Structures are given as structure tokens and as C-alpha cells.
Chains A and B, each alone.
Chain A
Amino acid sequence: MKKHLCVLSCLALVLVLFAACDRTNPDVPYDVIENPPESLSEIPEAGDVQDMALCGQTLYLATTNGLYVRDVLNDTNERISETVFSVLESDGETIYAYTAGTNIVSCFVENAETETVTMPDGFVDERLIDFTVTERYFVFLTNLPDGFAFSLYHRDTAQTEYVPTLGNITEIAAYRYTENVILLYYSANNNSDCYVAAYHLDTDQFEEKYYVDLLNVCDIAYDAYHNTVFLYGKNITSGAMALQELLLDDGSVRTLIQYEMVGTSFSVCRMALSSNLVCCLMGDQKTVQIYDMEKDYPVVNVALTTYPQMYLQYMASYMQTHYHITVNFLEYKDDDGKQKLNMKLQAGDADIDLYDANLLEPAYYVRAGAYVDLNTIESLQAKFAASPYATAAASWNGTIIGVPTEAYFFDSAVERNADGTRDNSSVEFYMARYIGAAEKRYDDPDGTALAELYRHLAEYPEDDAGEPLWGEFSMIFGGLVMMNPNAAHKEEAALFLEELLCLYMGEREEERMANPMAAMMVTPYPEVDVPEDVYRKWTGWNQSVYTMIRDGAEEVQKGADAAQTAAKVAADIRMAVQE
């Protein structure tokens, strides 16, 4: 009996520990609000909306003409207070309203004012930025001359407290989190680094910190049910208003939807969240867009091993604007990330639709069959037929493995740098010519050509002079966007690839040039006659082999014998390619 009790106690302890570690709030109700409208029109007599709060399907709007309630489903509205409130906050049941410069917080339940809380005179500075409510405090965030500070009002004891300024933080927004922890959004290092952090009011400590980027955030909200943070702000690249979701479990961020910017200022935009609805106030301070978490919006998930390059960012906003397809970037950085991506592809996971093979070794993905032959997609087949360059860059064994991106054409006969030097790209050419990574081919097993390359590099360490080795040649550099054979959103992914091809084929020049960043940083395919014997960098690319060759070249430059070093390195390359 005692033993049973002991085992049961241990199990109970484990369960309690699990519950204590779980940051999500299982008690949060989640009544799905079905079929909400996509947007709400303005209330003509209401004036400009300054803040919003959502309780179920009731949207509270703090406007310049008073406080309005609006039923999201029935589109009815009613003014419940003439007071002009500057900030609203909801805890799911009660709405807390506050006007900057006053010392009164009004509480509303079911469209009626139930209580007012009066705080000491002068407690909150007029320079209020945001307001939030925790279990224990009313939290006011103000921008004082010497920095940002929290003014805390204890809801039970009516005691007040100031939390000192927060150092170099220049932008901040606070929202309800759990108990006395609030969420902050702030930027540091001259706004170059942006974070969402959990901040403990009792200990003045940051508990967790998440790096977020690519968005000028104007509002944040915490979704306790999913344990995610919603970020609403202006997309730096596209200029559209974007709603993003930060998953606190793994720190990943995905864009949910983008809305075309309305009005002139994004800083007045606000967001309110309740159950499955997220209401986004646009820059005109009148229109409200509604995002439904339960609805399947068309998406394309693109896996990356680095930050999203300009062409991807441009494509994301293009797809949103023209097709209302949201492009999510799933980042798999570093070696661990790459391994995770590989495993997901090999395990047949469907959540990755496309992957950018720019920093990967595409030949191995081809060998593993982790791609869709784009020739089998009718719309793309026609496009590739019209672009010999794209076809040459991406074909392998009669298939088209992906859409070439940032494809740079190198012709050793005509390539000249501005200063008269030339870039021979000898190492890359050696790899493209002698190595076929997908078919385990290595045509220089004894290192004869490699020794020649080493002698050349010993003479011209920068590889910018002398005649190209092994005669004239042309080669295509650049990355590839490939499709996961198990992609869940194949249609959307195909559309994305088609538009990407159009972009690079120069069919969207007017729109591309209208975007200053894309105009500068996205280069369409060059207009050249691609010879049949063109080499493609990706076919022989293997990062380890490249390092081996470079290390060997360094040794030869330091005085080692070229032939001996080449023979040794060739043996290693043989192993790396043919094992």
C-alpha cells in the first residue's frame, strides 16, 4: 500500500511540475465565433477610433466621439459613453478604459459602466503610451524625459509604484500576459533590433526575449489559448499592414495576412483579440479588418536557411496583394536547422511547400528525390519553354528541379571587371566541371587538373588574372527555389513559382521598378544566348569539397608541392563525392 502511495505521489508531483511549467492558460474559454465578416465599415458619427478592445463578438471602440460597442456579427452599434477614452483594455470579461491626463479608470461589463477606480492625482503622466491590466495592477507606460517608465497601481491595496526607466529601449508596447508578467515590444540599437519580451513587474526582470524583425510594430496582443503573440504593424518591404504570429514555444514568426495600407500613419493602427477573432484598425482610424483564426487562408510556406532575401520578401507582398496568398517564411538556420529541414522533407512533412536551396547543396536534394519536376506543372511548363535561360539553369536528367533565382551568367570570354582585372571563378568552375554531386561523379580522381588549379592560384591568389583554365567556358551561378513533393499547398506554391519566374523573366518590370528595394536588389535573368555546354554551379556544389580545395590552395600558396597536395585533396574529394 505504501509503495502504491509512493508511486502515485511521484506521478502527482510530476503532473504538478508539468502544470507549473505550462505557460499557457487552459482556463481561457474559446467559443468559436463562426462566419465573421472580413471587415467592418466605419460608424459615420463615431469620429476617429483611438483604441479597440474585443470581448467575444463585441468590439469596443474608443473614439473621439465617445465609447461605442459594436456587434461584429450583426453589425449593430451603440454609443455607451460620451467620455473620450484614449486607451482600452480587455481581460475577456471586463473592459477597462482610461483617458490620458485623468486619474480615473472606468470598467465596463456587458455594455454598461459598472465601476470607476480613482487613482491619486498626478499619478499617471500625460505622456501615456499604453495601458494594460494584470491580475494585480493597472500598468501605465509613459515616456518621461529620462526614458520609459511604468506606473503601477495596485488594484487591491490602491498603492502606487514606479518602475524605473528601461535603459536603451526606444519603442515599447505593453499587453496583458499572465499574472504580473506583461509583454513588451521594444527596439534597441537605434531601432535595428526589435524584440518581444516577457517582463516581470514584481522583479523588474525580463523573463523571455524573442527577436522579431521585418515589421514596424504598432500593437501587440497575447493569445493565451494558443500561447502566441500577435504582432500588428507595417511590413518594412511591402509597406502593407501585416498581422504576424510569434509562437512562444519556438520563437518562430509567421505572417498571417497582409492588408493594403489605408491612411497615412501606421502608428495609429490598433489591434484587438478575442477567441478566434483579431480585429485590425487601419490607418484611417475608421476601417476595421477582421482576421479569423479558424479560417483557412491560402498560404505558401517557404523554408529558408537564412533570412528571407529581397526577392522572397518582394514575392510575399506581391502574392498577398495580387492573390491574397500569405507567404510564410520558415527559417531553418545553422547546421541544426538544415538537418531539421532535411528530416522534415525526408519524413514527408507537408508543412513546407517550397524551400530555398540557395545555401544548400541542391544536388543532394535532387538525388534524394526531394523535389517536384516543374515540367509536370502545366503553367510552369509553358513558362520554362519561354525561358531557355531558366531551363538551362535548372534542368537535370530531363526534369526541371526548381526556379532559378538571382541567376548570374558567367562567360569567361567576356567577363571583365571595371578595373581591368578578371574574375576567373576557377574553383567553382573546377567543381562544376569535374564533380557531379547527384550522380557521384568525380572526373579528376588523381588530382591532375586540381594541381593545375593550385599552380594557377599560387600565381594569382585572387584568381583575377591570367587566362581561364581549361579554355573558355560559361557557367550559371545562383540559387533555386524547389518544391516539396509532399507540399500541402501545391496549387498556391505553383502559382508562387510561376510569378517568381515572371519576375525573373522580366514580365513584372513595371511593378518591380516601383518598389525601390526590389528595383535595386532583384536582378532578372540576363538576355544571353545560353550555350548547350553551359555549366551550372549547383551540380557540383558541395561545401565540404569547396573548403578542401581552398585549404589545399592555401597550403600550395604557402609553399607546399602542388601535385602532392592536389593528389591528397583529390583523394578526400573522391571520398566526399563518391562515398
Chain B
Amino acid sequence: MLRKKRVRLLLLPSLAGIAVFYGAPFLVMLYYAFTENAITGKFVGFSNFVELFQNPYFRLAAAGTGRFVCLGVPLTLLVSIVLAMLTAHFAARIPFVKSAFFLPYFLPSATAAALWTAYFADLPPFSSLLLLYLWKYGGLHYMLILSAICAIPREVLEAAQMDGASAFRRTVSVVLPNCVPTLFFTGMLAIVNALKIFRESYLLYGNYPEEEVYMLQNFLNNHFNKLNYQTISSAAILFFVILYAVVYSIFSLEKKWSAEIW
């Protein structure tokens, strides 16, 4: 009981921070989303949301973001898993291998954008951005998956081998199930990182990029500069709801799969 109290007490500053810096702004955002503008404060119901859905550029931005996440996240996971499998045997002994993949993650966005402008200026914007995403964040995802693979007890793999399991079978039936929690976590991180690619996108293509790389952040950023806080708030709430649904689904899936495996 005392321990619980102590834990709650220790959590208090963090919770207070969340309430002040996330909770309160979220409530203000809700207020903005249902008012005509911040100055009159006139309640307008869902008309801001209706206007948002009618806005072709919001739909374009949402589609662009969705396309990027749907393509980028599985791709980065796939590449990271393959690379991790291939390098699992010697990566632990040669630290440089891990560092080499991980280094781009530390590169400032401006440097990454400059590099991309110099070498990949001719690529179509969407492909270029996808490549940049894989290069910059793939290393981090690879590291996480590699750590999970390396943490699988050697005996488990040896037992499978002694039972006559092929390399493919060992991967599918032993390695991947053991990595499920990490894969889910990495998947979540990959989604967050896919949304973070806006920094590079902005540096490469500015406020008004080609339609294929026009994303929600472009939309939000431009409306912010135009003092259109109602649109931003409505879009942010929608974005929150969608993201919440995605995260909730991922957690539910993880729970279900983990239960099935173990």
C-alpha cells in the first residue's frame, strides 16, 4: 500500500506535466474546433469538421500521409528484419556494423536534406522521401529488431535445429514469434517516425510541395501561418482519433498474438 502511494507520489510531477502541457492544450483545441473563430468564440457545432472534409487539400494531405505511412512502415520493417537476420551472427562482434546503420538517425534534418538535394534531386519526390525515410530511420528500427533477435536464447534455436527445422522454419516459427513485442513497438515507432519525416520534406520541398508529398503537416503548418486555428484544431482532433485507433489496434493485436504464442 505504502509502495503504491509512493509510486503515485513519484508519478505526480509527470502527470502534472502531462495535464498542463498536453491535457490543457487539448481542451483548448477542442474549444477551437467547435467555434467560429478564437475571437468571437461562437459555437458552430461540427461545421468546422464538415468544412474540413469538404476541403480537397485536406483530403489530399490525408491521402498523402496515409500512403506514406502505409508504404513506408511495412517497408522499413521488412528491410530492418531482413538486415537484422542477415547480420545477427556477426553484428554483436563487430560494433561498426550497428553504428553504420544507426548513424543517419543522428544526422540533423538540414544535413540530411542537403545530402538528398545533392544526390537525389532527380528522383520523384515521393520515392525520394521514402528513400530518405528508410535511410534515416531504418537504422533505428534495425537496431531494435537486432537486439530482440540477439536476445533469443541460443538453446531455443539449437533445439529447433536439432529437431530438424530448416533455417526458414526457424525464422518463421522461432525467431519472429519471439520478436513480436519488439516488432509491435518498432512498428509504432516507425509510424511516429513516418510522421516526423515532415521536417525533411519541408526542407526539401517547402510549404507547398508537389501534390504527391503534400502531407497533413503541410496542411496544418500552412493553416497555422494563416491564423486558421479552427481548421488546424479540427484536423488535429481527427488525426488524434485516427492515430488513437491505430495504436489501440496495434496494442490489441499484440496482446492477442502474444497470448497465442505464449
**A interface vs B, CB < 8 Å?**
7, 339, 342, 345-348, 361, 364-365, 367-370, 485-486, 544, 548, 571-572, 575-576, 578-579
Contact = CB atoms under 8 A, between A and B. Distances in A.
B222 interface: yes
B227 A579 contact: no
A575 B57 contact: yes
Contact of B227 (A367, A544, A578): A367
B219 A368 contact: no
Contact of A579 (B10, B38, B55): B55
Contacts of B56: 578
Contact of B39 (A339, A486, A544, A576): A486
A364 B39 contact: no
B214 A368 contact: no
A347 B24 CA distance: 14
Contact of B208 (A342, A370, A486, A572): A572
A368 B208 contact: no
Contact of A367 (B10, B225, B228): B228
Interface string B189-230: 000000000000000000110010010000100111111110
Interface of B: 10, 36-40, 55-58, 207-208, 211, 214, 219, 222-229
Given A367-B227, A544-B208, A579 B39 contact: no
B55 A369 contact: no
B207 A345 contact: no
B229 A579 contact: no
Given A364-B226, A364-B227, A579-B222, A347 B38 contact: yes
B222 A342 contact: no
Contacts, number: 60
6 contacts: A346-B227, A368-B38, A486-B39, A544-B208, A576-B208, A579-B219
Given A348-B38, A348-B39, A368-B39, A575 B227 contact: no
Interface centre among B40, B56, B208, B211 (most CB of A within 10 A): B208
A339 B39 CA distance: 17
B124 to A, nearest CB: 15
B180 to A, nearest CB: 36
Contacts of A365: 227
A367 B40 CA distance: 12
Nearest to B230: A368
Nearest to B13: A11
A369 B226 contact: no
A347 B219 CA distance: 21
A174 B55 CA distance: 61
A370 B37 CA distance: 9
Contacts of A348: 38-39
B59 to A, nearest CB: 11
Contacts of B37: 368-369
A367 B37 CA distance: 9
A199 B55 CA distance: 57
B57 A578 contact: yes
**7 shortest interchain CB distances as A-B pairs:** A579-B57, A368-B227, A369-B37, A364-B226, A346-B38, A369-B39, A485-B39
Contact of A544 (B10, B38, B58, B207): B207
Contacts of A345: 39, 227
Nearest to B218: A579
Contacts of A368: 37-39, 226-229
Contacts of A7: 10
Contacts of B223: 579
A29 B203 CA distance: 52
Contact of A548 (B38, B40, B55, B208): B208
B227 to A, nearest CB: 4
A545 to B, nearest CB: 9
Nearest to A365: B227
A367 B226 CA distance: 9
A339 B208 CA distance: 18
Nearest to A372: B39
Given A361-B226, A368-B228, A485-B39, 13 more contacts: A345-B39, A348-B39, A369-B38, A369-B39, A370-B39, A370-B227, A486-B39, A544-B208, A572-B208, A575-B57, A576-B222, A578-B56, A578-B57
